[in-house]
Structure formats: structure tokens, C-alpha cells
Amino acid sequence: MTTAGQPVLSVANVGVTLSDRIILKDISFSVMPGEFVGIIGPNGAGKSTLLKGLRNMGVISDGDIRVFGQPIGNMGDKQLARMIAYMQQEVNIGFGFTALEMVLAGRYPYLKWWQNEQSEDFAIARKYMAFTGVESLAEKSVQQVSGGERQRILLAKVLAQDTPLIFLDEPTASLDLVYQEEIFRYCQVMCQQGKTVLIVVHDIKLAAKFCSRLILLANGTVVADGAPQDVITAQNLERAYGLHSAVFINKVTGNLDIHTYEAAGTLGRQRSVHIIGGGGAAGKIMRLLHEKSFALSGGVFQQGDTDADVAAAFGVKAIVGPPFCVISQEHGNENQEKIHAADITVLCNLYFGQQNMANLKAAFAARKLIVIEDTPVEERDFTGGEAAQLYRNLISLPQVTVLSSNQFAQQLFEGII
């Protein structure tokens, strides 16, 4: 069989109808060797049905499925079992089997009906038990192992089947964080070694961290298919899950992260708020206001500043200047224009230096100003007193209300703002 450059799996126009209900419709994609594909989507989207169908387990109504170009319908049972290993969601572990016997059962596609396992089969079983870290459990009854050990034994069994394609249906369900990551790490290594894995998973962050590609299903169709950062977007999550979210790169972990929140309806929609921030002072305020559906703008932030990142995550129009520089005339003017136009302006609990004095001065232009004060201004003044003096003048104006960030959150919650 020549397989170079050929997809290991080709799926064309696949549909599934069960009990007169369309479960999957018009599913098409192909997978190249070495890909680690996460199949994600809400409950009932059709993820398990898709894996079952791809494994030719009698649910497919339409379409064409090929492994290395060969239609799976033309393959015998054992031939298919030498191509695809499948770990189902619910697995009944046989009573009285040892872990080794369980893993050896993965060798069945290679044995004739009269044959027992050969020494080579034992060697393969032990090799994969070592890989998934369950070698020491070889003689233990599978009834007497923990949930995590059980999943790793089942993974070793699937690997012992020695197939180019591996399907795993929620193999990490009910596992703790350590075991969950471990299973994904094993899969990543296997794919680097040339296997191809399709895994059904609910934990989107875990999938995004480890999978090379994600297929997002909803209502029986593919909503998005591609690299994790292209699939996990606020728009796609809303389409698939009806979920409001901000998707961003977590600077601590370097991984894709998701913040979800309840939709606030039209509470803030009619009002515009401009947020004067920088240095991370505006993040929480921006999030609170965004979640209440206010129309937001912000500035002047600096590149690399977490406020600029939060603005990007929530789609807030922000004025962003270069780091470590005095705010330019142009950005200062733009900031003032936004403040003029906004119904409300919020001046965050900023630290003041000569670089951002323009942000403080601009606040005087607000029609209605909320000043967030969590720290006395004297402790935030790095201008030798100039900023503190100006700040005191500012907060004495009638259009200004001074609140701590907790009071601000409370007033927002109570609908006062």
C-alpha cells in the first residue's frame, strides 16, 4: 500500500439519521498522518456518533469514508481493526482479567482464531504498558485499579492494536487534572511518531493546548475546522455553544484561554463609556463593563500592557501608544475626542508619571466622570506632586464621582451606573 502524501482518513458528505432524526449532515474533512485532531462541541452535537460512523459501526446513512484511499465499507472486520483502534466512551472491563490480558486483547486483529498470543504480542503489550506507565500493574485485576490507571490500561490496549489511526471518545472523562494532561501528552507523542489521533473532548482549553487541529461540531454540522487559534474564537463559541466569551492568550501559561460570561441583554447598550487606563489598571473595569454590554472605548494604553490585551480580548476599541514613551499629541487628542463623545468616562486607579500625565489631563474633558480610587493618589504619584495636585482639582469637580473598584462593581451590579 502506497500512502505517502495521502490522507489517512477521508470523509466526504457523511450523514447519519437515527430514529428518523438527522444527527449528522454533510460532514466532510480529511486528516493527514501525524495530526492530533480534537473533536469538540456541545452535548448532543454528534461527536460520538461521528466516531462510531467513522469506525463503520453501522450508523452512517450517507457519504463516503476512506482510510488511505480505501472505502471502509469494503474492508473486513479484522482489516479495519488493523487500521483503526477505537476507545469508546463506555467500556465494560471484563471481570477477572488482569491488566496485561486486557492489553493483549488489543492484539486480536493479528491472531488467527486458533492462535494464542505469541511472544511478539506479549512484547508489544508490555511495550505500550510501559509507555502509558502501567507496566507494574500487569498482573493486577482490572477491577482493582483506579480510574486513571484503568484509562491508561485501555489506552495501552488501543495502542497494542498497532493501527495508524486511533479514535478516543472522551478518554479523560472523570480523570483528575494530572491524568487528563497525561493522556493528551501520550497522544501528542504518538502523533509525533506518526500515528493519527482523533479525540472527542469537552475541555476546550485542554484540546487547544495539545491538539494540532480542532473540529468544532454543533447541531450535526462542522462549525469550524482548523488550527486551535482559528477554531476557538468568541464567534465560533457563540455559534456552537450560545456562549459569550473572550478568547485570549494567557500570558502566564502562554496557552489559549477562555473567559465565559452570561449575556447582560441590553442593560448598557445605549450608553458609551470611555476608560482611561494603562499599566493594567483598566482590565477589571473593562471586563465588568463589557459583560454589561456597554459600548466601550479605551486609552491611552501602551503596547504590551495588559490593558491593551484585555481590550483586544473583548474587542474594545483602544488607543494604544508605544511603550515607555510620553503619550503623543496625536494619541492625546484622540483620547480627548473619545472622552467628549462618551456618555461616561472612567479614570482607573492609574499610577502617574510624566509619560501618562496626558491621561490625567484628558479626564477634565469628561461630561460625567467616575474616578476609581483603590490607592491614595499620593502613593501613585511619580511626578513629584504635580499629578496629585491635578487629581485633587479633578475630583473636586461636580461631574466627578469617586468610587473604589469594589463599589464600582457593586453599583454596576445594582444597575446604578
Ligand X SMILES: Nc1ncnc2c1ncn2[C@@H]1O[C@H](COP(=O)(O)OP(=O)(O)OP(=O)(O)O)[C@@H](O)[C@H]1O
The interface with ligand X within residues 117-156 (CB under 6 A) comprises: none
User: In angstroms, what is the minimal distance from the CB of 89 to ligand X?
Assistant: 7
Give the number of C-alpha atoms closer than 13 A to the C-alpha of residue 247, restricted to the C-beta side.
17
- Nearer Cβ to ligand X, position 23 or 197? 23
User: In angstroms, what is the minimal distance from the CB of 292 to ligand X?
Assistant: 31
Residue 37 near residue 31, CB atoms below 8 Å: yes
- Nearer Cβ to ligand X, position 198 or 388? 198
- Nearer Cβ to ligand X, position 48 or 180? 48
> Collapsing DSSP states into helix, strand and coil, what is residue 37?
strand
Number of residues that bind ligand X (CB under 6 A): 12
User: In angstroms, what is the minimal distance from the CB of 171 to ligand X?
Assistant: 13
User: In angstroms, what is the minimal distance from the CB of 137 to ligand X?
Assistant: 28
User: In angstroms, what is the minimal distance from the CB of 21 to ligand X?
Assistant: 6
Residue type, 230: D
> Collapsing DSSP states into helix, strand and coil, what is residue 237?
helix
- Nearer Cβ to ligand X, position 62 or 343? 62
User: In angstroms, what is the minimal distance from the CB of 226 to ligand X?
Assistant: 19
- Nearer Cβ to ligand X, position 45 or 247? 45
The interface with ligand X within residues 40-69 (CB under 6 A) comprises: 41, 43-49
Report the C-alpha gap between 89 and 91 in whole angstroms: 6
User: In angstroms, what is the minimal distance from the CB of 199 to ligand X?
Assistant: 12
Which strands form 272-276's sheet, in the order they lie side by side? 317-321, 295-302, 272-276, 344-347, 369-372, 400-403
Q: Is 206 in the site for ligand X (CB under 6 A)?
A: no
- Nearer Cβ to ligand X, position 43 or 266? 43
- Nearer Cβ to ligand X, position 223 or 286? 223
The interface with ligand X within residues 3-42 (CB under 6 A) comprises: 18-19, 21, 23, 41
- Nearer Cβ to ligand X, position 46 or 299? 46
Helix or strand (DSSP H, E) at 372: strand 369-372
User: In angstroms, what is the minimal distance from the CB of 246 to ligand X?
Assistant: 24
- Contacts of 169-174 with C-beta under 8 Å, sequence gap 24+, read 169/47, 169/48, 169/51, 169/86, 169/87, 169/88, 169/89, 169/199, 169/200, 170/48, 170/89, 170/200, 170/201, 170/202, 171/87, 171/199, 172/201, 172/203, 172/206, 173/89, 173/202, 174/147
- Nearer Cβ to ligand X, position 39 or 358? 39
**DSSP state, residue 94:** P
Exposed, middle or buried, 11 (CB in 10 Å: 0-12/13-18/19+)?
Answer: buried
The interface with ligand X within residues 353-372 (CB under 6 A) comprises: none
Exposed, middle or buried, 47 (CB in 10 Å: 0-12/13-18/19+)?
Answer: buried
Report the C-alpha gap between 24 and 46 in whole angstroms: 6
**DSSP state, residue 292:** T
Give the CA radius of gyration of the chain.
29
Report the C-alpha gap between 292 and 305 in whole angstroms: 23
Residue 133 near residue 152, CB atoms below 8 Å: yes
**Count of C-beta atoms within a 10 Å radius of residue 16:** 21
User: In angstroms, what is the minimal distance from the CB of 39 to ligand X?
Assistant: 8
Residues that bind ligand X (CB under 6 A): 18-19, 21, 23, 41, 43-49
